[in-house]
Structure 1
Amino acid sequence: MEDKLTLFSFKGKYKILHLTWFAFFMSFVVWLSLGPMMPFIREALSLTQQQAKILLILNVAITIPSRIVVGMLVDKFGPKIMFTVILVLGGLISIAFAWMQTYEQLALLRFLSGFIGAGFVVGIRLISEWFPAKQTGVAQGVYGGWGNFGSAGAAMTLPFIASSFGGIDGWRYAITAASLVAIVYGIFYYFNVSNTPKGSTYFKPKKSGAMEVSSYADLALYITMNVPLYLALSLMTWKLADVKMIPSIVEFGIFAVLIVLFFLQALKAWQINIVYLKLGVPKQHRYKFKQVALLNWAYFVTFGTELAVVSILAMFYVDWFGLDKITAALLAGVYPFLNLFARPGGGYLSDKFGRKIILMVTFSGISLSFLTLGTVEQEWSIYSVIALTIIGGIFSKAGSGAIFAMVPLIQRRLTGQIAGMTGAFGNVGAVMFLTVNSLVDYDQFFMLIGIMSGVVLMLIVVFLEEPKGHMTEVLDDGTVEVIKLN
């Protein structure tokens, strides 16, 4: 592949990049339409503030296990078919949500539609197949940043549709329109992309069902790192029971199911890896799982912050500063708009100066900006608050770009699963932050983000290693392909 990066070309790998970031964009328009639509939904259905916050939590719930499962499926079946399925099925469920009449129906359909957020994982694997390691940071940054702009696209367009058509049901027409576009694009996408460049091999894991690791210590860490995923689902279950959405017997039943699922997943991870580890892992297939774990916690903060803040920002502006719904939605749309340059910028700087140093810089910025927001009072100027959210947003989105500049460089054949787990941790962060938001005031919500980012910064400084040298993959004919990392 050529060395010169020409992002505004629409040929070869750049065509794949542009078609794929727009697929991601549409998945986020559908998934995150709930935030800017929430003031309209709350008014139309006379929802309480607590009911509105519960819907926001449910919106990110199933995305957690979905990203893990989709990561496995994309490594096995390929990105092309997976993105099409997610856009079409997700769009249909979203349309069903838009026309539900009771709060219980809304809650169920919003929970189910959250799986469309797993589309992000699909493109990570596809872009890593088309771009070399020295360009993967900026390519993944463009994919993630421009695709993430879908939340801003929803915030800037759907409120106008909702206020222009259908009266009190305008929000239903807005969400339906966005979902129909996603379905059509999903079909178009299938016929216009391929999983790899012509002549390249699509590497797959030897076994499916759990991630392959390189040592017994890594296996223990891998199993342990699944605990936060189940804790996040347990936290949401508790929250639903706390507001009487589900009875206590259902709450305890879900807890029991989650415990059983965790032990079944741990058993599957053991079964897949034990024979592999006893025989000895070939040198070319070894990697350090601590790298995956650290990136998981880093994305817990960066994307967890992004998803939580974009979900609550419109209501924050309305509740604390008395802005009207459309103005609040437009101002909230500035936050995800930053993805257009901040996330690609984080990826580009990682390619140029190193992954670890850029992560250290971005996490320092996240911590300082949100600790400052943690002191916010209602008497503050709205302009200063907007400026602080923009600064925090730039650092968090650049941090996400730096994280996924590194994800594809750990082990190529496992990229989907690594991206899936890292992406799931982003949603775990969102669930935790949104749950805290439902229990405390906005200033305490911002303060928690600042503290968590400071903790992860220390972990990055001490434990994260810069990718160096090369990784190798064995082709079907037995030859070895060397993939340079820097």
Structure 2
Amino acid sequence: MVKLLANPLPIDPVTQKADAINIFSVQRPYMRAFHLSWFSFLTAFTGWFAIAPIMPAIKKDLNLTVSQVGDSNLTSIASTIIFRVIIGPLCDRFGPKRVMAILLAAGAIPVGLSGLANNASEFITLRFFIGIIGATFVPCQFWTTQMFSSSVVGSANALVGGWGNMGAGVTYVIMPFVLEGILSSGVSDHNAWRIALVVPAGLCLVVGLMCLLLSDDCPQGDWSRRGLSIEQSTDVEAHEVFHDVSEKKNANKVEKKENDAASNYSDTNAPAQKSTRPAIGMFFFALKNPNVIILMFMYACSFGIELAVDNVIGYFFYEHFNLSLKMAGLIGSLFGLMNLFSRATGGFLSDYFYKRSGIRGRLLACCGSVFGIVPFVDPTIVGAISGLVGAGGNIGGLIFTGVFKAYAHDTPVAFLVLGGVTMCVSLMTFLIKIDGRMLLEIRRK
């Protein structure tokens, strides 16, 4: 199985990526980036879903209809689709830490301004712009893809994605308590939920600043230094020391060495990564690959369903079972908090079976393993593919949120529909073909 407590971290001599993980380390560059990637995504969730746990209070204050609540849920996910597609190439161009910081700062603005809404139109519009922050998933996954080799990238991506997704559960715990604390201090119902939204907005700004000041884009440090050679050492900190003069002379040699490794790519080689400038043609090129379409469908029925359920689960418990806002939030939080282990399990299994069966092994799991497959689809445009697959998750979230809106007065039926669709889409796994390999192969004599 994947080493989660490796000390020191083994480093691949060609790609300069880590071949193991140490979850209790915060050393630069590898584990610092690992922890900031998931913590940034978790923080983004506190802003993205800050409204959901306290929606009953907002609905009452703004006199929202059930349909308007559904519309606001739809817009908060719809806008993320656009931004996730754009963000992939920006990661390729500018590196993950800058993109992550900018998204957190940009998303914090509409989160904080949501408290100024006085009617349904203003509220729905602000929720649309809050969706910007949902695009943080792309730099989250892109970041660990730059830091960890193919042998552990499935686990790394699953861990940071899963722990980041816990933000929905954390938000369901925190926001009702924050609201109750503000109400207990004597603030009116009209103002309490508005003040409460300042908390997640402030958290997003702080964590965004941490990304800029305390982390690295890649093993070599800043994104501008990617591809340069570094002196191998068991001390991870030593990888921050660069010899500029000698590396400028050797840069071309290193690039040739990495290109040779890419051309010899197989199930046992790490996927080479090549940065490209943002271009619309890149997306069309990626979409010509049927594997990208299939992974988008699969992610729509895993992460997409999670997004849809995160938006309604607290309100469902509040209305359907007549629970208090705080109790509904606590129970609803369990769904998101399962990501502590559920998504990571998919990544662990993906890496485990990859070592035993090659790329076919990665085709056996779902949400946690989708991004264990992404780096192998086309290593030259990982950012663009990450953005498209991530957008697939949001498209699924949009569709399934629409299902919940359609069955707003019979939510259990909506859950039944989601389950049936997911079972059907799971069969698409048998159509994926990576590096000439499929999950089931018919061998001719």
Q: TM-score range by the shorter chain?
A: 0.7 to 0.9
Question: Aligned partners of 1:464, 1:450: CA distance in 2, in Å?
Answer: 22
Amino acid at match of 1:150: G
Give 1:347-358 correspondences, 5 Å limit.
347-354=347-354
Q: Which segment drifts farther, 46-55 or 1-10?
A: 1-10
Q: What is the deviation of 1:427?
A: 0.9
Q: Please say if residues 21 and 31 of structure 2, whose CA atoms lie closer than 8 Å, have aligned partners that are also in contact.
A: no
Q: Please say if residues 19 and 148 of structure 2, whose CA atoms lie closer than 8 Å, have aligned partners that are also in contact.
A: no
Q: Which segment drifts farther, 298-307 or 191-200?
A: 191-200
Q: Please say if residues 23 and 31 of structure 2, whose CA atoms lie closer than 8 Å, have aligned partners that are also in contact.
A: yes
Q: Please say if residues 64 and 424 of structure 1, whose CA atoms lie closer than 8 Å, have aligned partners that are also in contact.
A: yes
Normalising by structure 1, what TM-score? 0.70
Residue 64 of structure 2 aligns to a residue whose secondary structure is: coil
What residue number does 1:167 align with?
Answer: 188
State the Cα deviation string for residues 189-226 of structure 1 (Å, max 9, x = none): 1112222111642731266223267xxxxx5x927xxx
Question: Is 1:197 the counterpart of 2:166 in the alignment?
Answer: no
Give 1:421-432 correspondences, 5 Å limit.
421-432=388-399
Q: Which segment drifts farther, 440-449 or 131-140?
A: 440-449
Q: Please say if residues 106 and 132 of structure 2, whose CA atoms lie closer than 8 Å, have aligned partners that are also in contact.
A: no
Question: Aligned partners of 1:423, 1:57: CA distance in 2, in Å?
Answer: 17
Q: Please say if residues 125 and 408 of structure 1, whose CA atoms lie closer than 8 Å, have aligned partners that are also in contact.
A: no
Question: Aligned partners of 2:320, 2:22: CA distance in 1, in Å?
Answer: 44
Amino acid at match of 1:117: G
Q: Which segment drifts farther, 169-178 or 61-70?
A: 169-178
Aligned length: 360
Amino acid at match of 2:319: D
Q: Please say if residues 74 and 402 of structure 2, whose CA atoms lie closer than 8 Å, have aligned partners that are also in contact.
A: yes
Q: Please say if residues 90 and 278 of structure 2, whose CA atoms lie closer than 8 Å, have aligned partners that are also in contact.
A: no
Alignment counterpart, residue 103 of structure 2, candidates 67, 86, 95: 86
What residue number does 2:14 align with?
Answer: none
Amino acid at match of 1:69: I
What residue number does 2:129 align with?
Answer: 112
Q: Please say if residues 92 and 277 of structure 2, whose CA atoms lie closer than 8 Å, have aligned partners that are also in contact.
A: no
Question: Is 1:346 the counterpart of 2:314 in the alignment?
Answer: no
What residue number does 1:378 align with?
Answer: none
What residue number does 1:149 align with?
Answer: 166
Question: Aligned partners of 1:401, 1:464: CA distance in 2, in Å?
Answer: 16
Question: Aligned partners of 1:335, 1:415: CA distance in 2, in Å?
Answer: 30
Q: What is the deviation of 1:359?
A: 5.4
State the Cα deviation string for residues 62-103 of structure 1 (Å, max 9, x = none): 101110011121112211211111111110121111222222
Alpha carbons of structure 1 residues 408 and 43: separation in structure 2 relative to 1, 3 Å = same
What residue number does 2:418 align with?
Answer: 449
What residue number does 1:465 align with?
Answer: 433
Q: Please say if residues 343 and 400 of structure 1, whose CA atoms lie closer than 8 Å, have aligned partners that are also in contact.
A: yes
Question: Aligned partners of 1:420, 1:163: CA distance in 2, in Å?
Answer: 38
Amino acid at match of 1:197: P
Question: Aligned partners of 2:99, 2:422: CA distance in 1, in Å?
Answer: 33
Can you give the 5+ residue segments of structure 2 that lack an aligned partner in the other structure?
1-10, 12-17, 228-272, 438-445
What residue number does 2:258 align with?
Answer: none
Give 1:357-396 correspondences, 5 Å limit.
360=364
Q: What is the deviation of 1:318?
A: 2.1
Q: Please say if residues 299 and 425 of structure 1, whose CA atoms lie closer than 8 Å, have aligned partners that are also in contact.
A: yes
Q: Please say if residues 92 and 183 of structure 1, whose CA atoms lie closer than 8 Å, have aligned partners that are also in contact.
A: no
Alpha carbons of structure 1 residues 52 and 212: separation in structure 2 relative to 1, 3 Å = closer
Question: Aligned partners of 2:162, 2:283: CA distance in 1, in Å?
Answer: 29
Question: Is 1:402 the counterpart of 2:380 in the alignment?
Answer: no
Question: Is 1:299 the counterpart of 2:321 in the alignment?
Answer: no
Question: Is 1:413 the counterpart of 2:429 in the alignment?
Answer: no
Q: What is the deviation of 1:8?
A: 1.5
Q: What is the deviation of 1:58?
A: 1.3
Question: Aligned partners of 2:202, 2:299: CA distance in 1, in Å?
Answer: 30
Question: Is 1:433 the counterpart of 2:394 in the alignment?
Answer: no
Q: What is the deviation of 1:150?
A: 1.0
Question: Aligned partners of 1:34, 1:207: CA distance in 2, in Å?
Answer: 33
Alpha carbons of structure 1 residues 207 and 315: separation in structure 2 relative to 1, 3 Å = closer
Question: Aligned partners of 2:278, 2:362: CA distance in 1, in Å?
Answer: 34
Question: Aligned partners of 1:9, 1:150: CA distance in 2, in Å?
Answer: 21
Amino acid at match of 1:421: L
Normalising by structure 2, what TM-score? 0.77
Question: Aligned partners of 1:408, 1:171: CA distance in 2, in Å?
Answer: 42
Amino acid at match of 1:55: S
Residue 197 of structure 1 aligns to a residue whose secondary structure is: coil
Question: Aligned partners of 1:103, 1:212: CA distance in 2, in Å?
Answer: 35
Q: Please say if residues 87 and 387 of structure 2, whose CA atoms lie closer than 8 Å, have aligned partners that are also in contact.
A: yes
What residue number does 2:8 align with?
Answer: none
What residue number does 1:376 align with?
Answer: none
What residue number does 2:280 align with?
Answer: 209
Q: Please say if residues 19 and 149 of structure 2, whose CA atoms lie closer than 8 Å, have aligned partners that are also in contact.
A: no
Amino acid at match of 2:418: I
Instruction: Give the percent of matched residue pairs that are identical in Structure 1 and Structure 2.
Output: 28
State the Cα deviation string for residues 325-344 of structure 1 (Å, max 9, x = none): 21111101000001111111
When the two chains are superposed, the root-mean-square deviation of aligned CA atoms in Å is 2.0
What residue number does 1:55 align with?
Answer: 72
Residue 210 of structure 1 aligns to a residue whose secondary structure is: helix
Give 1:175-254 correspondences, 5 Å limit.
175-198=197-220, 200-201=226-227, 203-205=274-276, 208-211=279-282, 222=287
Question: Is 1:11 the counterpart of 2:32 in the alignment?
Answer: no
What residue number does 1:36 align with?
Answer: 53
